Structure 1
Amino acid sequence: MNAQEPGLPRSRQANERLHALVPGGAHTYAKGDDQYPQDLAPVISHGSGAHVWDVDGNRYIEYGSGLRSVSLGHAHPRVTEAVRRQLDRGSNFVRPSVVEVEAAERFLATVPTAEMVKFAKNGSDATTAAVRLARAATGRPRVAVCADHPFFSVDDWFIGTTPMSAGVPAETDRLTVAFPYGDLAATEEVLTRYRDEVACLVLEPATHTEPPPGYLAGLRALADRYGCVLVFDEMITGFRWSEAGAQSLYGVVPDLSTFGKALGNGFAVSALAGRRELMERGGLRHSDERVFLLSTTHGAETHALAAAMAVQATYAEEGVTARLHALGERLAAGVREAAAGMGVGDHVVVRGRASNLVFATLDEHRRPSQEYRTLFLRRLLAGGVLAPSFVVSSALTEADIDRTVDVVAQACAVYRKALDAADPAPWMGGRAVKPVFRRLA
């Protein structure tokens, strides 16, 4: 039976209202309606667990919840109750709350490789603070970022390296250089070329591929040899790889690391953590020049910190990371079997760690295709699956996974027809979905 596309008249109206009031129609580019098939971008009313409902009343099994931030599921009772208790006690004061020390103690117990922590509201601020701290500590101007990782910050030092670099001075852009993931020799060549100029190496310790054996340890050695700061962006790997991040799983300790996303289960909280010697330069108990590390009005709102503490307790007590991996393995196996069964196993490709799955849509020549992605997303939505990725939350049930696999099989049947025709256009329903980073709107 062919699934019927959901009716979205209210969502379409809401999208028009958003575009009239909000540049891009969303407050996060990755949530824009250009990321979804034409006229099939649902506007969400509410969510519970692994499901969301749009303003038209359609229900979806949701993946990639909150851009990977809602790993326990929406409105998780332990998190919402912890937040509710704090709301009655006030959320922001003229002096630090006792919740701030409790949250710091809890975080450093969860991530014992760090010695100090400072909280903020988003990952960009935390990672930019790490860069500023590295520059201050080394006296060097350049930042080396991993070219194979898509995003580190909205700030000029990184955005200037993307196709959306408008507004970033060229002299700022020139201070950021790139190195490839997994290639120690190429990284050393960058450090040699800019000897005594590189303040830090910034990378995600792992993404859709596991680090090659010895790679992270080799980076640690290179950073030490060339006198630069090693920064791990653990926005995604934190909690999804292990509660203490990839640094714990792989046994390599960075100088600084940044956490966010799953840390708050949808509440706005991020963290910069690292060695006391470095972190204290942003404090008061030293004799060096002060570093403006992180100082934000809302960085330590009590309800967000309460959410973070509840998330950490839930992960530790309920084995959430293991559950994420088990659910992801079931989903990956099912999708691969469904794709192979429909003859598109080489075209609908699941990649990544089980707790952080993404999918690639390849054309008849096995090249990445936004047109085939459009077709695939359209059929998933028709089956009640909202999946810009296959990143799981622990709220998913095995029945949700099995239902998703059934919908994927239906989508793959249409995919096969498009491949046979060497033309996905008849099944796209309009313009293709767009990449986030592009020069022109």
Structure 2
Amino acid sequence: MDTEQFRLPRSRAANERLHALIPGGAHTYAKGDDQYPENLAPVISHGHGAHVWDIDGNRYVEYGSGLRSVSLGHAHPRVLEAVRRELDRGSNFVRPSIVEVEAAERFLATVPTAEMVKFAKNGSDATTAAVRLARAVTGRPRVAICADHPFFSVDDWFIGTTPMSAGIPAATTELTVAFPYGDLAATEELLTRYEGEVACLILEPASHSEPSPSSQLRSSRGDPTPGYLAGLRELADRHGCVLIFDEMITGFRWSEAGAQGLYGVVPDLSTFGKALGNGFAVSALAGRRDLMERGGLRHSGDRVFLLSTTHGAETHSLAAAMAVQATYVEEGITARLHALGERLAAGVRDAAAGMGVGEHIVVRGRASNLVFATLDENRQPSQQYRTLFLRRLLAGGVLAPSFVVSSALSEADIDHTVDVVAQACAVYRKALDAGDPTPWLAGRPVKPVFRRLA
């Protein structure tokens, strides 16, 4: 489809209604229409498998579904069956339901490196609970976050470190310090500088983010360099701080047991979410019994208000999580995600190279968690070129803020995506030759989520 003829009038009207009623026009900043080309932010009607339909009637092959949460595809029959079974039995009670212990048993069997688990609704609650627990057990005030990872929580201890820090006291932000991924020497220097003050190190055990200039090189798949995580484990032990793995993204996509199961390094605490519920709201904090029990009733120390959420144990969400885990293990979903991602990455790279833009449209990350970079004439990241690329993908029926796959994708979906990418690359080449993508934008460029001004 010609992008000049691609219009979304109903979606545009719905976006106006969204902005009139909801700050930012979405309940998640990463879903905002500022993340898409001007007037080309589709509002979704429904989804099935790897496809979604917007309210204008267009069908798309979708990537990054539900911000990586829908890894089995929309309306997955096995998950829906488990959810429907619970809906007629009630969803929330004044005491724990038997589903809660069944879900805990299933989770700890899937992630055997953890000894106890507590469920919640979103990732931020889980990571903040981990930080609170680390501060409580160590008696230390500071939190050390990995500077190369983009997001940990909506709470003050993290958001205060971003450009969107309005409303957060400086005194809170000063208690959060940062270390670079892959650089054990820099991390040890940080722990020595704040000797006896750092409660925890929190990081994604592996990710798609680029390392800082001072960090060691990593593979393009996002794997840590050999010995890095074990070295971090040793540093945490030696300096008496808690090691926390944020497995919101790596959980299930790296292995059923997360990155810790793949790389063989056991953190003190870890957090899971996203893929855990295939779109249903469920997250988890898991870890060592002696630490987790401090948030319980069977210890003699000071009580820690670990996690307490009214809806954290909704039966249908826990049933969804159990069904997801069973599906991953029994159907080899992680391997399928990797196979689909490898086919997609190879196709996109070939298409970009064939159009002479192989050094400008760059696919990065583990095959199950692919992202892409759009680089300008000087090979620098460009929001303008990203806008051009997204416009062409949308017009071709591909909704792809990333290239993160779901297991519902078919090989035909991948092949269609590659064909659309090739067409987009042809236009990208024209813009590079002109030295200016502006004529192909048809409006303002997309914007990063974390920025100070609207």
Scaled by the length of structure 1, the TM-score of the pair is 0.99
Displacement, 1:2?
Answer: 4.8
Displacement, 1:6?
Answer: 3.2
Q: Residue 231 of structure 1 corresponds to which residue in structure 2? A: 244
Structure-2 separation of matches of 1:324 and 1:355: 5
SS of match in other structure, 1:419: helix
Q: Residue 373 of structure 2 corresponds to which residue in structure 1? A: 360
SS of match in other structure, 1:240: coil
Q: Give CA deviations for 1:16-59 in whole Å, capped at 9, x if unaligned.
A: 00000000000000000000000000000000000000001100
Structure-2 separation of matches of 1:266 and 1:407: 27
Structure-1 separation of matches of 2:445 and 2:227: 40
Q: Give CA deviations for 1:228-286 in whole Å, capped at 9, x if unaligned.
A: 00000000000000000000100000000000000000000000000000000000000
Structure-1 separation of matches of 2:309 and 2:331: 33
Consecutive unaligned residues of structure 2, counting only runs of 5 or more, are 209-221
Q: 2:332 aligns with which of 292, 301, 319?
A: 319
Q: Residue 131 of structure 1 corresponds to which residue in structure 2? A: 131
Q: Residue 196 of structure 2 corresponds to which residue in structure 1? A: 196
Q: Residue 254 of structure 1 corresponds to which residue in structure 2? A: 267
Q: Residue 110 of structure 2 corresponds to which residue in structure 1? A: 110
Q: Give CA deviations for 1:52-110 in whole Å, capped at 9, x if unaligned.
A: 00001100000000000000000000001100110000000000000000000000000
Structure-2 separation of matches of 1:38 and 1:234: 33
- Alpha carbons 1:179, 1:190 under 8 Å: kept: yes
Q: 1:398 aligns with which of 411, 425, 429?
A: 411
Structure-1 separation of matches of 2:317 and 2:275: 12
Consecutive unaligned residues of structure 1, counting only runs of 5 or more, are none
Q: Residue 142 of structure 2 corresponds to which residue in structure 1? A: 142
Q: Residue 360 of structure 2 corresponds to which residue in structure 1? A: 347
- Alpha carbons 2:355, 2:422 under 8 Å: kept: yes
Q: Give CA deviations for 1:353-387 in whole Å, capped at 9, x if unaligned.
A: 00000000000000000000000000000100000
Task: Give the aligned residue type for 1:270.
Answer: S
Q: Residue 212 of structure 1 corresponds to which residue in structure 2? A: 225
- Alpha carbons 1:2, 1:410 under 8 Å: kept: no
Q: 2:402 aligns with which of 389, 400, 409?
A: 389
Structure-2 separation of matches of 1:100 and 1:353: 33
CA-atom RMSD in angstroms = 0.7
Displacement, 1:210?
Answer: 1.2
Identity of aligned residues (%): 88
Task: Give the aligned residue type for 2:385.
Answer: Y
Q: Residue 453 of structure 2 corresponds to which residue in structure 1? A: 440
Displacement, 1:205?
Answer: 0.2
Task: Give the aligned residue type for 2:367.
Answer: A
Number of aligned residue pairs: 441
Q: Residue 41 of structure 1 corresponds to which residue in structure 2? A: 41
Q: Residue 431 of structure 1 corresponds to which residue in structure 2? A: 444
Q: Residue 24 of structure 2 corresponds to which residue in structure 1? A: 24
SS of match in other structure, 1:237: coil
SS of match in other structure, 1:144: strand
Does residue 1:268 correspond to 2:281, yes or no? yes
Structure-2 separation of matches of 1:4 and 1:330: 30
Q: Residue 120 of structure 2 corresponds to which residue in structure 1? A: 120
SS of match in other structure, 1:149: coil
- Alpha carbons 1:140, 1:199 under 8 Å: kept: yes
Structure-1 separation of matches of 2:80 and 2:155: 31
Structure-2 separation of matches of 1:125 and 1:266: 17
Structure-2 separation of matches of 1:391 and 1:384: 16
Task: Give the aligned residue type for 1:120.
Answer: A
- Alpha carbons 1:5, 1:381 under 8 Å: kept: no
Q: Residue 293 of structure 1 corresponds to which residue in structure 2? A: 306
Structure-2 separation of matches of 1:418 and 1:403: 23
Runs of at least 4 residues off by over 3 Å:
1-6
- Alpha carbons 2:247, 2:272 under 8 Å: kept: yes
**Residue pairs, 1:68-107, within 5 angstroms:** 68-107=68-107
Displacement, 1:411?
Answer: 0.2
Task: Give the aligned residue type for 1:351.
Answer: R
Displacement, 1:5?
Answer: 4.8
Does residue 1:377 correspond to 2:398, yes or no? no
- Alpha carbons 2:3, 2:391 under 8 Å: kept: no
- Alpha carbons 1:64, 1:391 under 8 Å: kept: yes
SS of match in other structure, 1:239: coil
Structure-2 separation of matches of 1:6 and 1:403: 18
Structure-1 separation of matches of 2:46 and 2:311: 25
Q: Residue 15 of structure 1 corresponds to which residue in structure 2? A: 15
Q: Give CA deviations for 1:176-211 in whole Å, capped at 9, x if unaligned.
A: 000000000000000000000000000000002210
Q: 2:254 aligns with which of 229, 233, 241?
A: 241
Structure-2 separation of matches of 1:256 and 1:331: 34
Q: Residue 426 of structure 2 corresponds to which residue in structure 1? A: 413
Q: 1:91 to 1:364 in 2, by over 3 A?
A: same
Structure-2 separation of matches of 1:75 and 1:217: 39
Scaled by the length of structure 2, the TM-score of the pair is 0.97
Structure-1 separation of matches of 2:225 and 2:185: 13
Q: Residue 179 of structure 2 corresponds to which residue in structure 1? A: 179
SS of match in other structure, 1:171: helix
Displacement, 1:7?
Answer: 2.5
Q: Residue 52 of structure 1 corresponds to which residue in structure 2? A: 52
